[in-house]
């Protein structure tokens, strides 16, 4: 197993009186694709946002690539932001900017990078995300849902991150589009050496791309392991999720 690039210990997240996580521990190792699953309300997206520093934890520690979250200084925060990429649901693009301009936003933080070079790098990331060449000139409203997700991925890849955080990347896609996106994520992870933290409810995605799974339940990470190991976990939700008809259908191609 590789070195740990994300370490969460004793995490407590809370909004008013609502406690989302309490005593949550999690490790993510370099180069793996970790799928984060759990029932509705277990705080999957909250966990992602807390790890990247968008939500404040009440208690506990978070380290990403050796840096504490939240970062202790502006310089440390900027270094960390340059080493991670985040793709939110539906891409979360700026509606008033073209796809190319959206992807250029993170690149503008690089001192001395000429506008022409920014544009060329943005086009490269757009191509890597599987979008056609003309998509760079389009506005988000002119794109399909699947294309907006790819544009959001292109922006997440803009600074050549070591870790990519994906929040429900295949939600709302048709089965063909979801399968194509799964192949894209798997291929990019392997070719670029990316670590991927992937929040999903899509069993097909889990079986297609994930090396390990972390199950959120009871305000913590209940269990982590491979998909084969999930089948041996004696917990009602885990059994129902990983041994139901949808799970059997999702793993059938691999078994065949």
The counts of H helices and E strands in the chain are 10, 10
Q: Is residue 170 part of a domain?
A: no
Residue 165 within any structural domain of the chain: no
Strand, helix or coil for residue 58: coil
Domain containing 154: what range? 91-160
pLDDT tens-place string over residues 176-226: 999 999 999 999 999 999 999 999 999 999 999 999 999 999 999 999 999
**Do residues 197 and 155 both lie within one domain?**
no
Do the domain assignments include residue 102?
yes
Same domain, 58 and 21: yes
Tell me: do 2 and 79 sit in the same domain: yes
Under a CB-based contact definition with an 8 Å cutoff, are residues 215 and 247 in contact?
Answer: no
166 belongs to a structural domain: no
| Total domains present in the chain | 2
The overall pTM is greater than 0.85: yes
The tokens describing 51, both together, are 């790890």
pLDDT at 254: 52
Answer whether residue 225 is part of any domain: yes
Helix intervals (H) in the chain: 44-51, 74-81, 99-107, 115-128, 145-156, 175-192, 203-209, 227-230, 236-242, 245-255
């Amino acid at each position: 197993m590789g070195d740990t690039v994300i370490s969460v210990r004793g995490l407590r997240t809370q909004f008013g009186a609502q406690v989302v996580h309490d005593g949550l521990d999690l490790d993510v190792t370099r180069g793996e694709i970790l799928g984060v699953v759990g029932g509705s309300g277990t705080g999957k997206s909250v966990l992602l946002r807390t790890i990247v520093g968008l939500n404040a934890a009440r208690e506990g520690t978070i380290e990403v690539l050796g840096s504490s979250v939240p970062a202790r200084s502006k310089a440390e925060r900027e270094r960390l932001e340059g080493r991670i990429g985040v793709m939110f649901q539906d891409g979360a693009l700026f509606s008033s900017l073209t796809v190319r301009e959206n992807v250029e936003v993170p690149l503008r933080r690089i001192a001395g990078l000429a506008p022409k070079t920014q544009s060329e790098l943005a086009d490269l990331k757009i191509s890597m995300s599987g979008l056609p060449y003309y998509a760079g000139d389009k506005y988000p409203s002119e794109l399909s849902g699947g294309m907006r997700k790819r544009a959001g991925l292109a922006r997440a890849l803009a600074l050549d991150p070591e870790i990519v955080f994906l929040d429900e990347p295949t939600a709302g896609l048709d089965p063909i589009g979801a399968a194509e996106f799964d192949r894209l994520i798997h291929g990019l992870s392997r070719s670029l050496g990316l670590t991927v933290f992937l929040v999903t409810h899509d069993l097909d995605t889990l079986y297609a791309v994930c090396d390990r799974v972390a199950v959120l339940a009871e305000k913590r990470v209940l269990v982590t392991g491979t998909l084969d190991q999930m089948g041996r976990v004696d917990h009602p939700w885990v059994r129902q999720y990983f041994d139901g008809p949808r799970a059997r259908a999702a793993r059938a191609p691999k078994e065949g």
